[in-house]
Amino acid sequence: MAVPLLDLKPQNLALEPELTAAFSRVLRSGYYILGPELDRFEAAMAELCGVRHALGVSSGTDAILLALMSLGIGPGDEVIVPSFTFFATGGCVSRVGATPVFADVDPVTFNLQAAEVERHLTPRTRAVIPVHLFGQAADLDPLLDLLRPRGIPVVEDAAQALGARYQGRPVGALGTFGAFSFFPSKNLGAFGDAGLLTTDDDALADRARLLRLHGARPKYYHHAVGANFRMDALQAALLAVKVPHYARYTAQRRANAADYTARLSRLPGAGLAGAGQGLRLILPTVVSEPDHIWNQYTIRVPGPGRRDALRAFLTERSIGTEIYYPVPLHAQPCFAPPPGIARPTLPVSELLAAEVLSLPIYPELTADQRTEVVEAIAGFLATGR
């Protein structure tokens, strides 16, 4: 039996009548960008995220970009980002003309920590972008305690973490801005690109709303140079069909993760990070039980070449996996420092890039498919590799 890394069809086809109806409604409305469908969706998202303002935008990348533009960040400014993340977290900093400063992450949670951020603070630091990687919140309180007195805003990259919580509070509502993505492989997946920007700050929300529409207010009177960051009415209408099911999708992901962890932890040499030396398979650590939303279930396979060997072993058995992410940002060619300046060394990000492997975790994964994955991994370990 094949086990794909992700199959979008079962979730979306189960809603085909409602999705088709939403499509027809938009088709007949003649209103295809922003508009009443988006207003309704934004209200639902503001409630889900526990924020005063939620703006539908063109993608998760554009949500981060719009946050930085709304904060007025530009040339000469530095923004601290984790190196172990998706490209957009750092790319958006360069796109506003500022300098991304890459910080290392925690090997247990994969997330940015306050002590590491503090090492990189300079008088030019204008923002920090913690990422809630794989659906688990970064440790925000120490970060906010460090940055608030200095007046440095936090932009949460919550692209992988819609509905995840930090000490009971929804992510995206704790920093100055939260950026979410509805890319189809995210936990709430659209039918194309879409994203969301959240904030509790009325003035910043107003600024972001202005910049989302080329800085025009009214139309054709431009107060600032913004861009086209608009979300389609169609994406809003289709996503709104999926919102009432979102809690169930998350519960299913949590059940899949709990099942993996229970069964994989019984394999010889498998355990949580810190469970002793010589682990051959490191399982993901959950900092706080009900808060993780499992965009990815990511294991570590220590030892030279072992991660790639396990991946090849699973591929041969038609089990899909992915490496999120094989190259940390500080090692990407586009972020190479100018000639004569050495690249920074960020040992944890480099180690994780060599060891991580994400397993299928999507909500509709069946018990038989999970068994197949666990047994294949057991088979790999039994070969002595």
Q: How far is CA 272 from CA 15, 220, 278, in A?
A: 38, 57, 12
Of 193, 5, 236, 226, nearest in space to 88 by CA? 193
- Contact with ligand PLP (CB under 6 A) among 26, 38, 61, 374: 61
Binding mask 195-224 for ligand PLP (x = CB under 6 A): x-----------------------------
Q: How far is the CB of 250 from ligand PLP (least distance, A)?
A: 17
Residues 120-139 that bind ligand PLP (CB under 6 A): 131
Backbone angles phi, psi at 267, to 5 degrees: -75, 145
Q: How far is CA 12 from CA 26, 251, 270, in A?
A: 18, 17, 35
What would the two tokens of residue 21 be? 């109806």
Q: Which is nearer to ligand PLP, 84 or 380 (CB)?
A: 84
Q: Which is nearer to ligand PLP, 172 or 280 (CB)?
A: 172
88 near ligand PLP, judged by CB under 6 A: yes
Q: Which is nearer to ligand PLP, 159 or 301 (CB)?
A: 159
Which stretch in 31-39, 55-63, 167-175, 234-242 sits in contact with ligand PLP by CB under 6 A? 55-63
89 near ligand PLP, judged by CB under 6 A: yes
Binding mask 66-85 for ligand PLP (x = CB under 6 A): -------------------x
Residues 137-196 that bind ligand PLP (CB under 6 A): 157, 159-160, 181, 183, 193, 195
DSSP 121-171: --TTEEEE--B-GGG----HHHHHHHHGGGT--BEEE-TT-TT-EETTEET
CA 46, 152, 80 angle in degrees (round to 5)?
Answer: 95
- Contact with ligand PLP (CB under 6 A) among 41, 86, 297, 380: 86
59 CB-contact burial (10 Å; exposed 0-12 / middle 13-18 / buried 19+): buried
Q: Which is nearer to ligand PLP, 295 or 369 (CB)?
A: 295
Q: How far is the CB of 235 from ligand PLP (least distance, A)?
A: 11
Q: How far is the CB of 160 from ligand PLP (least distance, A)?
A: 5
Which stretch in 12-20, 58-66, 74-82, 240-248 sits in contact with ligand PLP by CB under 6 A? 58-66
363 near ligand PLP, judged by CB under 6 A: no
Of 155, 140, 179, nearest in space to 72 by CA? 155
Q: Which amino acid is at 364?
A: E
Which stretch in 41-49, 53-61, 148-156, 283-291 sits in contact with ligand PLP by CB under 6 A? 53-61
Tell me the pairing of strands 165-166 and 169-170: antiparallel
Of 81, 95, 80, 79, nearest in space to 334 by CA? 95
Of 239, 127, 243, 145, nearest in space to 193 by CA? 239
Which residue has the CB atom at the shortest distance from ligand PLP? 60
What would the two tokens of residue 68 be? 């930085």
Task: Check if the beta carbon of residue 98 is closer than 8 Å to that of residue 73.
Answer: yes
Q: How far is the CB of 8 from ligand PLP (least distance, A)?
A: 15
Q: Which amino acid is at 273?
A: A
Which stretch in 56-64, 108-116, 250-258, 264-272 sits in contact with ligand PLP by CB under 6 A? 56-64
Q: Where on the chain is the footprint of ligand PLP (CB under 6 A)?
A: 59-61, 85-86, 88-89, 131, 157, 159-160, 181, 183, 193, 195
